[in-house]
Structure 1
Protein backbone atom coordinates (compact mmCIF):
# COMPACT_ATOMS: atom_id res chain seq x y z
CA UNK A 1 0.00 0.00 0.00
CA UNK A 2 1.45 3.38 -0.99
CA UNK A 3 1.75 6.37 1.28
CA UNK A 4 -0.88 9.08 0.99
CA UNK A 5 -0.64 12.69 2.10
CA UNK A 6 -2.94 13.97 4.84
CA UNK A 7 -3.40 17.24 6.69
CA UNK A 8 -4.96 18.02 10.02
CA UNK A 9 -5.96 21.46 11.16
CA UNK A 10 -5.57 22.22 14.85
CA UNK A 11 -7.65 24.77 16.74
CA UNK A 12 -7.56 25.95 20.32
CA UNK A 13 -10.67 26.20 22.48
CA UNK A 14 -11.71 29.79 23.19
CA UNK A 15 -10.49 29.65 26.80
CA UNK A 16 -6.89 29.21 25.53
CA UNK A 17 -6.83 32.18 23.15
CA UNK A 18 -5.13 34.21 25.89
CA UNK A 19 -1.66 32.76 26.63
CA UNK A 20 -1.93 34.10 30.19
CA UNK A 21 -4.70 31.58 30.90
CA UNK A 22 -2.59 28.51 30.07
CA UNK A 23 -1.82 26.18 32.96
CA UNK A 24 1.58 24.54 33.41
CA UNK A 25 0.00 21.21 32.42
CA UNK A 26 -1.30 22.70 29.17
CA UNK A 27 2.15 24.14 28.44
CA UNK A 28 3.65 20.69 29.09
CA UNK A 29 1.14 19.10 26.70
CA UNK A 30 2.15 21.56 23.96
CA UNK A 31 5.78 20.67 24.61
CA UNK A 32 4.93 16.96 24.18
CA UNK A 33 2.93 17.88 21.04
CA UNK A 34 6.02 19.58 19.59
CA UNK A 35 8.23 16.60 20.50
CA UNK A 36 5.75 14.19 18.89
CA UNK A 37 5.78 16.16 15.64
CA UNK A 38 9.58 16.61 15.70
CA UNK A 39 10.15 12.88 16.23
CA UNK A 40 7.84 12.09 13.33
CA UNK A 41 9.50 14.74 11.16
CA UNK A 42 12.84 13.07 11.85
CA UNK A 43 11.26 9.68 10.99
CA UNK A 44 10.00 10.97 7.63
CA UNK A 45 6.29 10.94 8.53
CA UNK A 46 5.68 14.68 9.02
CA UNK A 47 6.28 16.87 5.99
CA UNK A 48 5.40 20.23 7.54
CA UNK A 49 3.95 21.58 10.77
CA UNK A 50 3.26 25.12 11.87
CA UNK A 51 0.68 27.63 13.00
CA UNK A 52 -0.66 31.07 12.33
CA UNK A 53 0.24 33.98 14.61
CA UNK A 54 -3.37 34.83 15.55
CA UNK A 55 -4.42 34.06 19.11
CA UNK A 56 -8.15 34.22 18.52
CA UNK A 57 -10.79 32.20 16.68
CA UNK A 58 -9.05 32.85 13.34
CA UNK A 59 -5.84 31.14 14.47
CA UNK A 60 -4.99 27.53 13.60
CA UNK A 61 -2.15 25.08 13.17
CA UNK A 62 -1.54 22.51 10.43
CA UNK A 63 0.30 19.23 10.19
CA UNK A 64 0.94 17.71 6.76
CA UNK A 65 2.06 14.10 6.96
CA UNK A 66 2.15 10.68 5.30
CA UNK A 67 0.05 7.62 6.15
CA UNK A 68 -0.92 4.37 4.45
CA UNK A 69 -4.65 4.75 5.08
CA UNK A 70 -7.22 7.07 6.56
CA UNK A 71 -7.38 4.80 9.62
CA UNK A 72 -3.63 5.15 10.11
CA UNK A 73 -3.91 8.93 9.55
CA UNK A 74 -6.67 9.21 12.16
CA UNK A 75 -4.58 7.19 14.60
CA UNK A 76 -1.59 9.48 13.99
CA UNK A 77 -3.66 12.63 14.58
CA UNK A 78 -5.40 11.19 17.63
CA UNK A 79 -2.04 10.22 19.18
CA UNK A 80 -0.85 13.82 18.95
CA UNK A 81 -0.72 14.84 22.65
CA UNK A 82 -2.53 18.13 21.93
CA UNK A 83 -5.44 16.24 20.37
CA UNK A 84 -5.50 13.28 22.77
CA UNK A 85 -5.40 15.68 25.76
CA UNK A 86 -8.17 17.76 24.17
CA UNK A 87 -6.41 21.12 24.41
CA UNK A 88 -6.68 21.31 20.62
CA UNK A 89 -9.20 19.89 18.20
CA UNK A 90 -7.98 18.20 15.04
CA UNK A 91 -9.78 18.03 11.69
CA UNK A 92 -8.33 15.48 9.27
CA UNK A 93 -8.44 15.57 5.45
CA UNK A 94 -6.67 13.92 2.54
CA UNK A 95 -4.27 16.44 1.07
CA UNK A 96 -2.99 16.78 -2.47
CA UNK A 97 0.35 18.52 -2.67
CA UNK A 98 0.52 20.51 -5.91
CA UNK A 99 3.73 22.53 -5.55
CA UNK A 100 6.72 22.35 -3.22
CA UNK A 101 9.56 24.85 -3.03
CA UNK A 102 12.60 22.67 -2.35
CA UNK A 103 14.75 25.80 -1.86
CA UNK A 104 12.69 27.01 1.13
CA UNK A 105 14.33 26.94 4.54
CA UNK A 106 12.40 28.33 7.51
CA UNK A 107 14.15 31.22 9.24
CA UNK A 108 13.93 31.64 12.99
CA UNK A 109 12.70 28.13 13.74
Structure 2
Protein backbone atom coordinates (compact mmCIF):
# COMPACT_ATOMS: atom_id res chain seq x y z
CA UNK A 1 0.00 0.00 0.00
CA UNK A 2 1.09 3.57 -0.63
CA UNK A 3 0.75 6.53 1.68
CA UNK A 4 1.68 10.18 1.76
CA UNK A 5 2.36 12.40 4.71
CA UNK A 6 2.38 16.15 4.52
CA UNK A 7 4.87 17.96 6.74
CA UNK A 8 4.63 21.54 7.97
CA UNK A 9 7.14 23.47 10.03
CA UNK A 10 6.03 24.74 13.40
CA UNK A 11 5.35 28.53 13.29
CA UNK A 12 8.57 29.42 15.15
CA UNK A 13 10.60 28.11 12.22
CA UNK A 14 8.88 30.16 9.51
CA UNK A 15 11.69 32.70 9.91
CA UNK A 16 15.19 31.51 9.14
CA UNK A 17 16.73 33.53 11.97
CA UNK A 18 14.70 31.50 14.48
CA UNK A 19 16.46 28.22 13.63
CA UNK A 20 18.84 26.78 16.23
CA UNK A 21 21.67 24.33 15.85
CA UNK A 22 19.44 21.73 17.46
CA UNK A 23 16.75 22.36 14.82
CA UNK A 24 19.35 21.94 12.06
CA UNK A 25 20.49 18.65 13.59
CA UNK A 26 16.92 17.35 13.65
CA UNK A 27 16.47 18.21 9.97
CA UNK A 28 19.74 16.47 9.15
CA UNK A 29 18.51 13.29 10.90
CA UNK A 30 15.15 13.66 9.11
CA UNK A 31 16.91 13.90 5.72
CA UNK A 32 19.30 11.04 6.44
CA UNK A 33 16.43 8.77 7.43
CA UNK A 34 14.46 9.63 4.29
CA UNK A 35 17.54 9.06 2.15
CA UNK A 36 18.09 5.62 3.69
CA UNK A 37 14.41 4.74 3.23
CA UNK A 38 14.60 5.86 -0.41
CA UNK A 39 17.69 3.75 -1.02
CA UNK A 40 15.94 0.73 0.50
CA UNK A 41 12.88 1.25 -1.74
CA UNK A 42 10.40 2.24 0.97
CA UNK A 43 10.20 5.94 0.08
CA UNK A 44 9.05 6.64 -3.46
CA UNK A 45 9.44 10.41 -3.34
CA UNK A 46 10.23 13.08 -0.77
CA UNK A 47 10.55 16.82 -1.18
CA UNK A 48 9.40 20.28 -0.16
CA UNK A 49 8.12 23.50 -1.55
CA UNK A 50 10.76 26.20 -1.92
CA UNK A 51 8.81 29.03 -0.35
CA UNK A 52 9.50 29.96 3.27
CA UNK A 53 6.05 31.27 4.21
CA UNK A 54 3.65 29.55 6.57
CA UNK A 55 1.99 27.73 3.64
CA UNK A 56 5.23 25.88 2.79
CA UNK A 57 5.11 22.11 3.13
CA UNK A 58 6.96 18.90 2.46
CA UNK A 59 5.69 15.50 1.37
CA UNK A 60 6.82 11.92 1.71
CA UNK A 61 5.27 9.27 -0.54
CA UNK A 62 6.09 5.78 0.69
CA UNK A 63 5.02 2.17 0.94
CA UNK A 64 3.80 0.41 4.07
CA UNK A 65 1.94 -2.83 4.81
CA UNK A 66 -1.04 -1.04 6.32
CA UNK A 67 -2.16 2.27 7.81
CA UNK A 68 -0.92 1.37 11.28
CA UNK A 69 2.62 0.76 9.98
CA UNK A 70 2.41 3.94 7.90
CA UNK A 71 1.41 5.96 10.96
CA UNK A 72 4.33 4.55 12.97
CA UNK A 73 6.74 5.37 10.13
CA UNK A 74 5.44 8.95 9.98
CA UNK A 75 5.56 9.41 13.74
CA UNK A 76 9.14 8.05 13.85
CA UNK A 77 10.33 10.77 11.46
CA UNK A 78 12.80 12.76 13.61
CA UNK A 79 11.25 16.08 12.55
CA UNK A 80 7.83 14.89 13.72
CA UNK A 81 9.05 12.98 16.76
CA UNK A 82 11.13 15.92 17.98
CA UNK A 83 8.35 18.44 17.37
CA UNK A 84 9.71 20.81 14.71
CA UNK A 85 7.23 19.63 12.08
CA UNK A 86 3.64 18.48 12.17
CA UNK A 87 2.51 15.70 9.87
CA UNK A 88 -0.75 14.43 8.44
CA UNK A 89 -1.10 10.97 6.89
CA UNK A 90 -3.23 10.01 3.87
CA UNK A 91 -3.72 6.78 1.93
CA UNK A 92 -2.31 7.43 -1.54
CA UNK A 93 -1.97 5.81 -4.93
CA UNK A 94 0.78 6.68 -7.38
CA UNK A 95 -0.89 6.77 -10.80
CA UNK A 96 2.07 7.84 -12.95
CA UNK A 97 5.78 7.96 -12.29
CA UNK A 98 8.84 8.50 -14.42
CA UNK A 99 12.49 7.76 -13.90
CA UNK A 100 14.49 10.94 -13.94
CA UNK A 101 18.00 12.06 -13.27
CA UNK A 102 19.09 15.40 -11.91
Specify if TM > 0.5: yes
Residue number in structure 1 paired with 2:78: 81
Matched, 1:64 2:61: yes
The CA deviation string for residues 23-82 of structure 1, in whole angstroms up to 9 with x for no partner, is: 100000000000110111111100000000111111000000000000000000001000
Whole-Å separation in 1 of the counterparts to 2:16 and 2:74: 24
Whole-Å separation in 2 of the counterparts to 1:18 and 1:41: 29
Whole-Å separation in 1 of the counterparts to 2:7 and 2:16: 16
Whole-Å separation in 1 of the counterparts to 2:55 and 2:75: 22
Matched, 1:8 2:5: yes
Computed over aligned residues only, the root mean square deviation of the Cα atoms, in angstroms, reads 0.8
Shift of 1:101: 1.8
Contact 1:14 1:56 in 2 (8 A): no
Structure 1's consecutive aligned runs of 4 or more residues displaced over 4 angstroms after TM superposition are none
SS in 1 for 2:30: helix
Question: Please, which runs of 5 or more residues in structure 2 have no aligned partner?
Answer: none
Residue number in structure 2 paired with 1:18: 15
